[in-house]
Amino acid sequence: MSEIKQESPATAEVIQDQPTRYEPPTATRDADIDLSHTAGKLPTWSTTREILTTKQGWMGDYDYSFLCMPTLPGLTRHRPPPFYGLKDRLPLLMAIVMGFQHTLAMIAGVVTPAIIMSGSGPNGLNLTSDGRTQMISTSLITSGVLSLIQITRFKLIRGYYIGTGMVSVLGTSFIFLPVLQSMVGNMYKTGYCESTPNPDGSILYQPCPKAWGAYIGTCMICSFLPICFSFMPPKALKRLFPSVVTGVTIVLIGAKLITSGMTQWAGGSGPCAAMPKTGMFVNCPNNMAPNAAPWGSGQWIGLGFLVFATIVLVEFFGSPFMRNAQVVIGLAVGFIVAVACGYTTSASLDAAPVITFLWVKTYPISVYPPAIIPLLITYTLAMVESIGDITASCEVSRLSVEGREFESRLQGGILADGVSGFLASTFFNSPMSCFAQNNGIIALTRCANTMAGYMCCFFLILMGVFSKFGALFLTVPDAVLGGMTTFLFANVMVSGVRILSFLKWTRRDRFIVASSFVFGFGAALVKDVFTKMVTYTGSSSFVASLADSAKIVLSSGFCLGAMIAMALNLLLPEDEGFDDEDDTSSVPSTSSGMPEMEEGSSGTPAYDIKK
């Protein structure tokens, strides 16, 4: 793609009146375009001194009341504040406030995968309290550290970059959660992880830290796939993985995650979820817990609904600041009520150390071959989803969504996602990818400055270092967490529906979506419907590994649906345009394939999480 140098209006007028005075515009080759301004640079000493020693440097001209005014009928709207671009001078106080907003918006999404992965039940790691606390702290620290790479953007060799250079923050991706759950479930079934039957017929699943090490090691190997893909042209990636494939897959991921959230909402995912008639786990989380009650009882449903109702009220009446943090506010209200009613204990909070960091607790790293194929599929989907997130970030940051600079930001963002997947594994954390909900904050606050992103990273690392903060989440009852996570997971599904809504819905599109949903929803809604047919009793470890891999894929509805969607997309011929084109209307879109947005729109749902 070539780019034409644009003349100023005055110069253009002279060229029109005196055409021989100026040479015609010259085409610039992509290789000749200077992109050095997109990389991060340290501020000069004079700039730093001015920011720290002047009122303008601290406060600026921003209308801070805009963030605090509630949404009430008949209330006079404030004039929107000025827009702060990537490299504009941002007041220090505003950078702190905006960074804290980004932190509040993403913190629930960052810690939720760690809470669920380390939790109890047949698909969790069943870790001890100190292990779960460390996982939460590691997620926060890893998110802050790796986001610095994505935001700063470093130049590599031969015109390649790593990072987007925008406020593209990273968090633990939700789409890896179903893979881990299927993988751990298979490990307990095969005896890789230990479990013991209780006298009442329920099963007590023992802690399985080696499963986490196997997952981390396998993720480390598979992370090289997006690194390799990052050097492919973005247009080629979009042709390989179009919206019909990504939309179907994200809908199926959301469906799987919603089942996890609702299980928590009803009382927890531990042994009590099997609703035994006798024994220690008749009530949730167990009979010894304060105010214990059977799984699905009204008090658990009520606690979770309180969280959801708070989120709805904040959406209706909250100020911009509150709406950006509505999930955290809902969680806080539910937690306060749970504490007041005696549903919590402070044992995990008291036992947690004051300060922690990465590698305080380590795990034996290994490779679990059956999980390689599902993880390769998941990494590919995370990469394709990041393309849409980075495109939306460019749009809300008022940057071009076409041309050499845009493609360079895409390349750098995909490479940073791949490298972050590897580095996150070395930190003993699940892979990370771009968080899309932060684009909504950029659009609402009209601040795309990278200083806000750096402040967000600072708050994330600070919260992770103080492990008491992570331990606080473990004192929250499962029902309260379920009310929050189900809302987050439903928004994952909505993100997939949104992607599918921009299809032309030709006969070909409908056939691909329907065929993928047949097996994807079938595997998600009916447990083990496709895995019973995979049996192997021989002595070959290789064949046994393939059988286990097939079980993981067949039990993960989104993996099965994604494979079918990709296969049909490659094999089915394109419609000729005469069967459905005439009565199908498409949504106007930009050149990037994203929908055109109204002023102030983020281009993504407020909680478009994977993550």
Within a domain: residue 31? no
How many domains does the structure of the chain reveal? 1
Which of 18-22, 316-320, 382-386, 405-409 has the least mean pLDDT? 18-22
Q: What confidence score (pLDDT) does residue 20 get?
A: 44
Q: What mean pLDDT is predicted for residues 35-61?
A: 67
Q: Provide the domain limits for residue 213.
A: 92-571
Q: What confidence score (pLDDT) does residue 55 get?
A: 67
Q: What mean pLDDT is predicted for residues 377-406?
A: 82
Q: What sign does the dihedral 253-255-258-260 (CA atoms) show?
A: negative
Q: What mean pLDDT is predicted for residues 372-398?
A: 84
Calpha distance 375→218 (Å, rounded): 8
pLDDT of 606 above 60: no
Within a domain: residue 17? no
Task: Pick the more confident residue, 523 or 200.
Answer: 523
pLDDT of 608 above 60: no
Q: Cα–chain-centroid distance for residue 236? A: 24
Within a domain: residue 55? no
Q: How many CB atoms lie within 10 A of CB 259?
A: 16
With beta carbons less than 8 A apart as the criterion, state whether 476 and 237 touch: no
Q: What confidence score (pLDDT) does residue 75 get?
A: 60
Within a domain: residue 610? no
With beta carbons less than 8 A apart as the criterion, state whether 375 and 218 touch: yes
Q: How far apart are the first and last CA of the chain?
A: 32
pLDDT band at 74 (very low <50, low <70, confident <90, very high): low
pLDDT averaged over every residue in the chain: 80
pLDDT band at 83 (very low <50, low <70, confident <90, very high): confident
What DSSP string runs through 314-342?
A: HHHH--HHHHHTHHHHHHHHHHHHHHHTT
DSSP element (H, E) containing 600: none
Q: What confidence score (pLDDT) does residue 607 get?
A: 42
Q: What confidence score (pLDDT) does residue 518 get?
A: 93
Q: What mean pLDDT is predicted for residues 179-198?
A: 88
Q: Measuring CA to CA, which residue among 441, 394, 439, 440 is closest to residue 413?
A: 394
Q: What confidence score (pLDDT) does residue 600 get?
A: 39
Q: Give phi and psi for 203, each to the nearest 5.
A: -115, 135
Within a domain: residue 490? yes
pLDDT of 19 above 50: no
Q: How many CB atoms lie within 10 A of CB 583?
A: 7
pLDDT band at 220 (very low <50, low <70, confident <90, very high): very high
Q: What confidence score (pLDDT) does residue 40 get?
A: 64
Within a domain: residue 80? no
Task: Pick the more confident residue, 279 or 582.
Answer: 279
Task: Pick the more confident residue, 158 or 595.
Answer: 158
With tokens 């606390």, the residue in question is 133
Q: What confidence score (pLDDT) does residue 203 get?
A: 83
Q: Any idea what DSSP says for residue 273?
A: G
pLDDT band at 583 (very low <50, low <70, confident <90, very high): very low
With tokens 């103080």, the residue in question is 466
Within a domain: residue 567? yes
With tokens 């992109």, the residue in question is 35
Query: Which tens digits make up the pLDDT trace of 135-158?
Result: 999 999 999 999 999 999 888 888
Q: What confidence score (pLDDT) does residue 119 get?
A: 87
154, 182, 543 from 563: Cα distances, Å: 35, 17, 21
Within a domain: residue 79? no
Return all residues near 518 (Cβ < 8 A) that are at least 6 apart. none
Query: Which tens digits make up the pLDDT trace of 518-543?
Result: 998 988 888 878 888 887 777 777 78
Return all residues near 567 (Cβ < 8 A) that are at least 6 apart. none
